[in-house]
Structure formats: C-alpha cells, structure tokens
Structure 1
Amino acid sequence: MERGRAVRADILTAVEAVRVRAAGNRAQELVAALLVVCFLLLTGCSAIPTTGPVGVISASEGEPDVVAPVFDPEGPAPGATPERILRDFITAGTGASEGYSVARQFLTPELQETWQPEERIVLFRSDPRVEKRETEGVYQIQLETTGTVDSRGVRTNSAAPSTETLGVRMVQANGEWRIDEIPDGIMIAQSSATDLLISHSLYFYSSNYRYWVPDARWFVRRTGVTARIVGTMLAGPAPYLQGSVTSAFPEGVTLARDSIPITSGKASVELSPEVLENATDLGLQQMNQQLQVNLVGLNDVTSVEMTSGQPIQLGEEVPDLIVPELTPDVGGEQVAIAEGELVRVRNGAIVPIDGLPSVSEFEPKAPATSVSGSAYSFVRADRTALFVTAPGSQVREVVAGAALTQPSFDPENWVWTARSARGRSEILALPPGGTEADAVTLAAGWLGDRSVKDLRISRDGSRALFVTDRGGSSEILLAGITRSAQGAPQTLTTPLSLPVTGPAGRPIETAKWAGQSTIVASSLGAGEEATPLILQLSGEQEAMAGLVGVLGISAGSDAEDTFYAQAGDTLYRRIGTSWVDEELKVVDPAFPG
C-alpha cells in the first residue's frame, strides 16, 4: 500500500510540475494527462487499498463512479408485523440507489422527508435482535457492533464487540406498520460491509506545506462518491487533525453541484464563488495540487480542472509553490547498538558511524537518529537520562527523569520523549541543540493516568503516535501536533483511538510508523511468543507469524520490505509472512525518525 502511494507521489509530482508550467496551454496539458494514463496502465497501481477487512474496498481502474455490486432489497411486505418491518428495514439500508428509496418506504411520509441515512453507519456482526417494549408501538433494536462511521466518514472501531440499542416508534399508516421514529443512519452487517463501503484517504498539507498528511475516511460505495470525497475534503480534516494540518481551500468553499463530471480522465470540479475571494496564484495552485492528490487514480481521474462558473486560471508558475512529499523516505539504514556503541545497519552489515564519539560509558539503549543522519539520541539503560550527540560533537545529557521513552526525531530535528512525572506521563520536545531548559512540555490531559510506553512522531511531523498502558490494558492513540509559524511544537490535539489487542490478550507495548498510513505494533517479552501486527489507519489489521522473545521492532517506509524484529540480540527481517535471521548481533535497531 505504501509502495503504491510512493508511485502515486512520483507521478503527481511530475504531472503537477508540467501542469503548472502548462497553465493555459491545452496541448501541454494533454501531454501531462497522457503521461499519467500510460503510467497507470503500465503499473496497474490502484490508489486505494484493495484488500482488508470490513469497510475496506477499492475502486478498480475503469469503473465509472465506484458503483457497487447491485443490491436490490425489497420494500415492505403487505401485512408485515412490526418486527418484520424493522428487520427488513435494516436489510433495505444496503440499497443506496435513488437516495435509499426502498428503505424510505418503511418510514412514515413525514420521516421519509427528514431521515438522513448516511448520518451514521453502525457495523454489526450478528443478527439484530428486535424486541417489543411495554409501551404500544415502541420497539428496540439490539446490535452487537464492531464500529461506527459518522457523517464525516470518520470510523471508530471497537476493540471488542459491544452492544448498542436503538429505540424505535412504530405507527400504522393505511393499515400497515411503518417506522415513525428511529435515529438517523443505517445498519450494515459485517458480511456486507466490504461490498458497501469504500475506504479512501483524504490528503491535507502539513503546516509547512512540505508533506501530504493522510486522513482515512469511509464512504458508502455508490454513484456520486467522487463528489462526496471532494465535499468531505472541503469540509476539513478529522477532529484529531484539526490545527495540525492545513487545507489550501478557504473556509466556506463548497461544491457548487452534487456531481463531478470526468471527461477523458479530467475531473471538472465546480466550486462555490468563495474560492475566488482574495485568491492568489499561489493559493489557487495549492488548491489544484490538493485536488490532484485527492482524486488522481480514483475513477480513472488523471487530471483536475477547477471551475467556478468558468475554468479557473491558475496563473503563472509561482516560485514559492512547494510540491509536497506523499511518502517521505527514511532510507534503508538503521541505527542500532553493537557492543555498547551506536552503529549503522546497512545492507545486512554492521557499519561504524564516522566521527561519532564513544557512548558505551552511558549505557545506551533505544537509539534514534534524524533522517539526515546529522544527529543521534538515546536513553540510559535504566531510562533515567536522555542523551544527544552528533559526528564531531560530544555526548550531552539533555533530559533527566523516570521511564523515559525511546527518543524520536521529527522533520525539524526536534527530539521527543515521554517521561513519568508525579504519577503522570509528561511529553517533552527539545529543539535542535537545546537542553531541558529549552524543552517544550506539551499538555496531554487526555492521557489521564495512562502511562506512555512508546512515542513516535510521524515522518510528516504532524502526528504523534502513542502506546499507552493503564493497569495492563494497552491503547494506541494518534494525536495531531500543532506548531508555531517557526515550526516549534505547541499543543497536542485530542487523539484518535486505534483499538487493538495483541493475540492471546497480551498488551501492545511498542508501535512504530511504517509509512504514512501504516503502523506496526507488538507485545514484548524475553520468554514469550509475540505476534507482531500491521495496522492501517483505514482499519485493516494483519497478524504476522509469531516470534519468541521479541524485545523490539522497527520499520522503514513500508511494512512489506522494511519490517524488522529483535529477539534477544538477533535481528530478524520480515520476508513474506515469515521471519528470517539477518545474522547480525545488534540490539534496538531503529529507522530514522
């Protein structure tokens, strides 16, 4: 999946460069479109994941508008009981055509006018239970749920199935039972969800416009979903990303019509007049870039045209326009510890780091390095001190504390860590060359009494990944990072929870980024078998083969080719679904970041 995004990044970068330079030149613009078509045909690459569990499905190349397999539910049966009406109404929610016209037949005329089917989607795993209550006409539907999707397409999964009860009021209309009151939304069986829902990542700019930040959403798989994707993108990022990412589109800009025509690969996006208010060439070109990255590869889209009554001219190329990275590359080298010293692991060999001072006297553990390799950090073995160093520099102790986590470098070379302070976890970020006195302490009241076991900053610098523990129960949290204009971290947003439980109920103790939308996670323990997991922000979860004695994991730009696990002092690499001994005696390997 990350490899597909990297390919997509390369082609988008090339096409956008041509399109900006070719603004107003139709011939050159056509060449750019043809280049994309040729590339997509050669690679057969899809922009959306094609495999996974409930709610993850892709648009195939050549599909006109992500049209789902035909679901043709029946309307109300004459003389049906209230219980039958409710069960059939749930089934009718699978028919999205014509505005859920079949499902609306189960409602009273008044409710038909106001019912919002996609306000909330409840995913359930076993047959719904319908019960009559004591009050005449009052019923309830009980569901064993696995998750929900809200009106913005934000999905919330349950770590374990839970029960939800929906209250319903039935009345008789013309001698037939109909639903007069029921919460907005539809209910989808897990077995049907793969055919009914599509997962698609929206993209927003990082605060410095250097990176694309993915925002996984879910949409009902039906005609018009392309417009729904753009409309949702225009409405802004998911709550946990608000303030940490940026949209090029001014607040209030909407789609001017409910469809996006696609002609010869070009998507024509008609926008409301607000898009032109105080617009600059730079702003318009940034908007165009954002539409490109959100739509290219979906439904045969190879280029995008913005219109507002007429085609919007992007103007001359602006020197300040940055083409963001879609998949930041951290390279293939890792930093690790061998015989008490920091080393690099490169091409299956242990390589000394030129110019780096000896660190053995500081009992190094859990090292980290910046993407450029210009700075290194590690904690003492007892996790009471954090150190930084660099080639040609001395080793400096910069943070003292208890239960310090492995340091993490962000793209601005700030060093992040968490420590225990007064019974709570405290999040620190140190500027390049700084000391504890210069550190920014980021409030995270939402942690409560959870302790932080691992903290990793995303390669775009916009998100912080936490592994937390409360009484032996683990939780993975993803928070946005807000920054000043100078790039200094300021706050952490209220996080998104990624419910996950290790096999056999073992708690997750570590997690690492493996690209922009992928996380690898594992339990740890010298004498226990661990089953490392691969998690997608879109909800997929894949269990790897078990490995005894896992003490740490690491991942590069994807989880396919650069996923490693340390067991004892032996480094293993993922090959397919197996672990292969790299025959290297190193501990605590880590990719840059």
Structure 2
Amino acid sequence: MNRRNRGSLVLMSMLLCLAAIAGCASIPTGGPVSKSEVSTTGEVQQNTNFKPVPPSAGADQTAIINGFINAATGFSDNFQVARKYLTAAAANAWKNDQRTVVYRGQPNISRNGTENDYKVELDVDSVLDADGIRTPAESGPSGTIQFGLMKVDGEWRINSLPDGVILAKAYFQTIFNAYSLYFYDPTFTYTVPDVRWFPGGSNSVATMIVRNLVNGPAPYLKGAVASAFPDGIRLARDTVPISSSTATVDLSAGPLQAASLQARQQMQAQLSETLSRGLNTVTNVVMRADQVPVDVGDTGQSQASQIHAPQTPSRQIGVSQNELVYLENGAISAIPGMPSVARLQPAVPAQSYSSFAKDGPVAFLNGDRTSLYTIAPGKAESVAMTGVPLTPPSFSPSNWVWSAAADGSGRVFASNAAQNNGATVQTVTLTMEWLKGRTVSSLRVSRDGTRIMVVSSAAGQSQVHLTGILRQDNSLASPPRDLTVPIGMFLDTVTFTLGYWGDETKMIVMAPGTGDVVATKLSLSADPKPLPALTGMQRLSVGNVTSDVSDIYAQTSSGSVFVQSNTGWQERPDLKGISDLAFAG
C-alpha cells in the first residue's frame, strides 16, 4: 500500500473516530452559565458560577444522569462532584481528560431497553482530543451516548460510561480558550501557529501549553513545520510556574545540555513566542536543566530573525482592459516591463511576494481557466500547467505557485515561477487520495508557506481542509513532495466555493451569487463570523485581517468594487475598470 493510500485510510479513520466519539462520551449540560467572548490571547477566566451539586438521596436514573451532566463542568477540581454520580470502580477508571465533545442544543435522555441502560442523544459541534486539537463536526444526525447504571446501597449510580467529557457549547466558550503553539517553517524564517484549546487558570494553562509544544505539532502539521526541541526532550517537572511575569521551564537535562547554543536560542525563542503571546502574565522565560538555568547567550538576534504573522503588502494585482495591472495607493497602473497578455484573456491573477522587486513573477489563468501561466517583467509568459479546469493560482513566499485540478481527480500542482524562462517551468504534480471525488474550487497557500487551505465540495457539502506542505528538503526553494493528511473545518448550512487567508489563523470563505451574498470569517481560534451582506458579490481580495485592520475588497456582478468598512461595504467608483483584484500570495 503506498503512502498516499495510507494517508487516505488515516483520514477516513479520523472521520469515523469523530462519529464514534459522538456516540460514546459523557455529557455535561444544564446549570448556570456565565457567557464570555472567546479570546485568542490572554489567560481564560475560570467561571465562578459553576456550582456542581452532588447526588440527592432517592434520585432516579434520569436524575442521576442529569446530575452527572450538570456536574461535569468541574475542570478546576478534577471533577470531584461529577465522580460522586459514579460507582467507585467507574470513578477510578473514568479518564475525563481523553477528549472533550462540544454539543449544540439540548441533549435527549431516554431509556435504552432496560432500567439499567440509558442513552443520550446530542448534536455534536466539535471534538477536542487529549492534546487540545479541535476538529469541527459536520452538521447532521445526533450522536448517541450510552450509560449503564446500577444500585449501590440502594442508590442509583453510573457504572458504565466512556472516557472523556462533553460540554454544552456555552460552557465550552466560558471554560476553554484558544492558544497558539508556535513552531517554525523548515527554514526557521517564519513562526507558524498550531492552535490548541485548554481550560483552567494561567499556571495550569502554561503547563499544558509547554507540554504540548515540546511534544510537537498537530498531526496535520507534522513534517510541514519544524521545532527547535529535539525528539525525546520533555518537561522535567509537570508544572511551569509563573512568578513576576517569568515562566520557569524545567526540561530534561540530557537533550537540553547536548543542544547547540543556536538550538537553545531557538528553543528559548519558541517558548517566548508561545507563552508571551498566549498569556498576558508572561513576559520572560527561563529554561532550566536539573533546575539550573541554561546558557542561551544573547537571544535578541535569534528572536528578531523570525517573522511572526507576515503581513501582505498593500499593492494589489488585477485585470484592466484585458491586461495585468497594479492597484496601489488608489491608482491603477500598468506593470512596468510586462509584455501584453491580452490574447490569453487573463483571469484571476496572483502576484508573488517578490513581485515587489523589479523582476518578481506573477501568475494568471487564461480565459476558460484551463491553463496557468507565469510571467515576469521583461520576459515572455511560461506555461505552468494546462489541459484541465484549474483553481485560481496562489503563491508561496518561495515563489512556488499552486493550483488544483477542479475535475475530481485529486491532483494538486505546484510550479517554480522563479524559473520562468519564456517556455515551460518546473511543475510538480501531487495526487491526493483525500481529494479524489471532490470538486476543488479554491486552494490558497498560507503566508508562512507551510500550510494550504483547500475548499472543495462533494454530494452538495462544501468543506474547508487545512493541510501541510511536505518538501523534498529544508531549503527555501525546495520542491514539494506531498501534502499531509488534513484537518477539516466545517460550516453549517453554508455553501461556499472560494477561500482566502486573512492572517495566520483567519480565513474568509464565500460563494458568488446574484442576490445578497454573505462571506464568512473562519478562524482556528474562534467560531465562524459572517461579514455584512453584499448584493451580487463574485469574489474577494483579502489583505491583512486583524482586530484593527480589515483589508477586504469585493467585486460584484455589475463590475463594481467595494471595500469593507465598519459600517458595511463602501463602493469605490474610481475602481470600476479593474477586476479580479488580489493581494500578494
């Protein structure tokens, strides 16, 4: 069996596991809830209104299950009250930290044949594994969870339940918070976020963050990102204390002392980036081996060399009068030295990050979107791929331009646009088993060059996948050799065909339409959020999307261009003659 077939089986197993989890976990629900906004940084504030109640005398089976459900918010005390609803054997065997299943709506509790067997049905929103990796679930039929009960000294208690905890979504939003663990791209140029979800106060969260950071990235990032921490290194003490804004990290002495000074500096930078951005109580990190601080030299240069959350420049590329043009500072201009491509009817162009240099390449599809060309000022166009419907091109920082076949074949293409010579360019074809049978409509490379967002559909269901890029070596210009088994992102009752990166964790998806079109902001660290509706929206150009800035341009079916503002969408009549706008990437 080849590796890609194995990858397909792994993905299938992940999806089956997600369905199985919905049918075999304990469910907390009900009780008082203090709603709070989910933040991407800063420590979570533990909800003081959770007051689990122990079982009352004479409670029947339904009341015991309800009581257990209501008491299963007890992350702060290791579920001591919840365990009182279990038999002694079940309480000792139950592993609450194996997963957390988040559900929507109200669970339905009913007898499952006998007075000792009950089932709980629910609508699963998402699943967190033991490492805090959250996988959104597809909307659909409810999951079923089985409980077994028995009498102990005349009182009903739960004696059979699977490992894990299930929370109502309102509880989850209050108890859990998203944190980015930072790894590196293979060249150690960019930091790459790996978003995890953890409960608890600052010290316990710091421990969970560091433990998982040292253990390595999420499965969909393995091989696509690098870590400064060598295999085998672990936390020497299962705690990361914070005092006077300094987090002390005790690591296994052997691997830490054997590491080079540069490696220790990179470890220090990785810890600092992760903890200081995730916890507002941390501004400094001390690494220790055998409780003795290790020498990391001057970390200033090492930390300054990494690029965090790379921003895209403000200039956009577009098409005007059948030629490629730039839009910069509100003015449309021809691209200096660019040959005419009007005969090819250019569409959906992309500009490389190096196009801001004099001879940087750009790319575009032809009019019927079956051929992809790369071109640079002073050079003729090169054919990168042809003969199949293609998704709009997307550049990585290393000048590889990506596209996918929109024919259900699972083929993904990457061409080295830096080798443009007016003929053909080096093109790598990857066939992904997990994309076979799906119609790919959008493929976009992240700005750190390590991840790809794929928008596809099958049987009327749209879906976003995130996958990592595996290279042949660790050089900046290395050709890709494969994509990782992806992680899925889902939206309820929303059809979408186009996707765009907004920053390191934010994406925007949409589907063109003639009526009111609503684009949706996705995030690895928050719930989906709709943007204001715009009539006839056809495509977007997305720059930097942060809490303070939102560079989003929209093109409508009438040819008008709108810019998102705090009050909605503002038309730009001066941009009426330009179409298919795109920021770099």
TM-score tier by shorter-chain length is: 0.7 to 0.9
Q: Does 1:451 align with 2:439?
A: yes
Correspondence for 1:189: 168
Alignment of 1:148-297 (within 5 A): 148-160=127-139, 162-222=141-201, 224-276=204-256, 278-297=258-277
Between 99-108 and 316-325, report the one with greater CA deviation.
Answer: 316-325
Maintained 8 Å contact 1:55/1:197: no
Correspondence for 2:90: 111
Maintained 8 Å contact 1:55/1:193: no
Can you list the C-alpha shifts for 1:209-252, whole angstroms capped at 9, x where unaligned? 11111111111234612211111222221111111111111223
Name the amino acid aligned to 1:183. Answer: P
Alignment of 1:405-444 (within 5 A): 405-420=391-406, 424-431=409-416, 432-433=418-419, 438-444=426-432
Q: Secondary structure at the match of 1:507?
A: coil
Can you list the C-alpha shifts for 1:421-469, whole angstroms capped at 9, x where unaligned? 6x51411111221676731112311012001111111111111111112
Distance 1:534 1:371 in 2: 24
Q: Secondary structure at the match of 1:449?
A: coil
Distance 2:75 2:302 in 1: 44
Distance 2:276 2:173 in 1: 23
Q: Secondary structure at the match of 1:391?
A: coil
Return closer, same or farther for 1:153/1:589 CA change in 2, 3 Å cut-off: same
Maintained 8 Å contact 1:455/1:465: yes
Correspondence for 2:559: 569
Name the amino acid aligned to 1:494. Answer: V
Distance 2:487 2:78 in 1: 31
Name the amino acid aligned to 2:326. Answer: R
Maintained 8 Å contact 1:532/1:544: yes
Can you list the C-alpha shifts for 1:145-168, whole angstroms capped at 9, x where unaligned? 222211111112234254111111
Distance 1:320 1:122 in 2: 40
Alignment of 1:13-24 (within 5 A): none
Correspondence for 1:47: none
Return closer, same or farther for 1:232/1:387 CA change in 2, 3 Å cut-off: same
Name the amino acid aligned to 1:582. Answer: R
Name the amino acid aligned to 1:355. Answer: G
Can you list the C-alpha shifts for 1:290-312, whole angstroms capped at 9, x where unaligned? 10011004041001001122111
Alignment of 1:374-385 (within 5 A): 374-385=360-371
Distance 2:68 2:180 in 1: 30
Distance 2:214 2:53 in 1: 36
Distance 2:108 2:130 in 1: 25
TM-score, length of structure 2 as denominator length: 0.87
Correspondence for 1:484: 472
Can you list the C-alpha shifts for 1:156-187, whole angstroms capped at 9, x where unaligned? 22342541111112122222222212111112
Maintained 8 Å contact 2:46/2:175: no
Correspondence for 2:309: 327
Correspondence for 1:592: 584
Q: Secondary structure at the match of 2:105?
A: coil
Distance 1:540 1:276 in 2: 38
Distance 1:110 1:439 in 2: 60
Q: Does 1:550 align with 2:529?
A: no
Return closer, same or farther for 1:54/1:364 CA change in 2, 3 Å cut-off: farther
Maintained 8 Å contact 1:573/1:581: yes
Distance 1:436 1:105 in 2: 70
Q: Secondary structure at the match of 1:284?
A: helix
Distance 1:250 1:55 in 2: 36
Name the amino acid aligned to 1:238. Answer: A
Correspondence for 2:109: 130
Alpha-carbon shift at residue 566 of structure 1 (Å): 0.7
Distance 1:451 1:346 in 2: 34
Maintained 8 Å contact 2:36/2:173: yes
Distance 1:221 1:120 in 2: 15
Correspondence for 2:281: 300
Correspondence for 2:388: 402
Q: Does 1:142 align with 2:127?
A: no
Alpha-carbon shift at residue 531 of structure 1 (Å): 0.6
Distance 2:37 2:111 in 1: 31
Distance 1:103 1:368 in 2: 55
Counterpart of 1:493 (choices 466, 484, 492) is 484
Return closer, same or farther for 1:344/1:58 CA change in 2, 3 Å cut-off: closer
Maintained 8 Å contact 1:252/1:274: no
Alignment of 1:73-88 (within 5 A): 73-88=52-67
Q: Does 1:348 align with 2:330?
A: yes
Distance 2:442 2:127 in 1: 27
Between 269-278 and 181-190, report the one with greater CA deviation.
Answer: 269-278
TM-score, length of structure 1 as denominator length: 0.85
Alpha-carbon shift at residue 118 of structure 1 (Å): 2.2
Correspondence for 1:580: 570
Q: Secondary structure at the match of 1:326?
A: coil
Between 387-396 and 110-119, report the one with greater CA deviation.
Answer: 110-119
Alpha-carbon shift at residue 575 of structure 1 (Å): 0.4
Alpha-carbon shift at residue 93 of structure 1 (Å): 0.9
Deviation >4 Å, runs of 4+? 316-322, 434-437
Q: Does 1:470 align with 2:449?
A: no
Q: Secondary structure at the match of 2:270?
A: helix
Can you list the C-alpha shifts for 1:57-96, whole angstroms capped at 9, x where unaligned? 4665xx7x85443422111112211211111111111122
Name the amino acid aligned to 2:293. Answer: P
Q: Does 1:540 align with 2:530?
A: no
Correspondence for 1:363: 345
Maintained 8 Å contact 1:430/1:436: no
Return closer, same or farther for 1:306/1:493 CA change in 2, 3 Å cut-off: same
Return closer, same or farther for 1:476/1:58 CA change in 2, 3 Å cut-off: closer
Can you list the C-alpha shifts for 1:93-113, whole angstroms capped at 9, x where unaligned? 112222221111112222222
Runs of 5+ in structure 2 lacking a partner?
1-34
Between 116-125 and 332-341, report the one with greater CA deviation.
Answer: 116-125
Distance 1:285 1:180 in 2: 51
Name the amino acid aligned to 1:581. Answer: E
Distance 2:550 2:98 in 1: 39
Distance 1:562 1:420 in 2: 28
Can you list the C-alpha shifts for 1:515-540, whole angstroms capped at 9, x where unaligned? 11111111113x23211111111242
Maintained 8 Å contact 1:197/1:218: yes
Distance 1:134 1:244 in 2: 49
Distance 1:420 1:551 in 2: 18
Return closer, same or farther for 1:273/1:172 CA change in 2, 3 Å cut-off: farther
Distance 1:452 1:471 in 2: 13
Number of matched pairs: 533
Runs of 5+ in structure 1 lacking a partner?
1-52
Distance 1:533 1:577 in 2: 16
Between 230-239 and 433-442, report the one with greater CA deviation.
Answer: 433-442
Between 167-176 and 387-396, report the one with greater CA deviation.
Answer: 167-176
Q: Secondary structure at the match of 2:265?
A: helix
Q: Does 1:514 align with 2:502?
A: yes
